Amino acid sequence: MIMKGKKGLIVGLANDKSIAYGIAKACHEQGAELAFTYLNDALKKRVEPIAESFGSEAVYELDVSNPEHMETIAAKVEKDFGKIDFLVHSVAFAPKEALSGDFMKTTKAAFNIAMEISVYSLIDLTNRLEPVLSDNASVLTLSYLGGPKYIPNYNVMGVAKAALESTVRYMAVELGRKGQRVNAVSAGPIRTLAAAGIGDFKAILNWNEANAPLKKNVTIEEVGNSAMYLLSDLASGVTGEVHYVDAGYNIMGMAAVEKNADGKTVFCWDGQK
């Protein structure tokens, strides 16, 4: 199995519908041992049974904005695992009011929260865990097309994802000196707890499905398999990359067009011609 003998920490798993779950499942199926974090007591009740289903009792409370949690996470991981071979960073947040309406109305407070939780946490967490990362460790974070491109209602989170992708490149150079790697997976839209806060998300799903080359939306299993590859030794020569798993939607320069019954060109929308 590809991940046999590998140990990793999954940060940010919320439930069995999340992208982090898809990644954990793919890694587990390929032989990896896993540890998990949960944000608060409400999510602890969801995460612990998931961890148990993957044969793990290593579950830690971790709010990336809590200094005490961040100061103690490495010691907890070391106690249970010694060194770990990979880290999955699935953490992003912006206040709900900053995910609809005009982007330029974003408050300074909302902007700072989005950047701290969604971007700086990757840097901070990797630094904190550096003493327990193996020499060839792989770090993975999650991005979205709303970083390099405009996506309606993604707003400040799009700016955060753009910063996250740039962070991956800068980290790749510095970690690369140690033989460690960092990459991002940019998944297509998926119904997750995090996506529920984005305005008109159903329209985004419909548009992606109608216009992606594969004419579908991706699943957490598809994203998980691609992430597992980047975390494994199969991707030992890959770092600093943003890998798209979105049924090809990112290559499109405009909406797909087809001919209707009258021979007129129409744009694909919601599967209707």
- 74 touches 127 (CB < 8 A): no
Sheet containing 33-38: which strands, arranged edge to edge? 59-61, 33-38, 7-11, 84-89, 133-143, 181-187, 242-245
| DSSP state letter for 117 | I
Total residues belonging to the chain = 273
Nearest CA to 185 out of 146, 134, 242 is that of 242
- 39 touches 62 (CB < 8 A): yes
- 154 touches 99 (CB < 8 A): yes
Question: Does 144 qualify as catalytic in the annotation?
Answer: yes
Catalytic one of 21, 60, 144, 244: 144
Catalytic one of 21, 60, 154, 244: 154
Question: Does 154 qualify as catalytic in the annotation?
Answer: yes
- 184 touches 241 (CB < 8 A): yes
Nearest CA to 25 out of 249, 244, 231, 239 is that of 231
State which amino acid sits at residue 40.
N
- 30 touches 1 (CB < 8 A): yes
20 HSE (CA, 13 A, CB side): 25
Contacts of 145 (CB under 8 A, 6+ apart): 151, 186, 188, 244, 246, 249, 250
Q: Tell me the two tokens of residue 66.
A: 């809590």
Query: What residues act catalytically?
Result: 144, 154
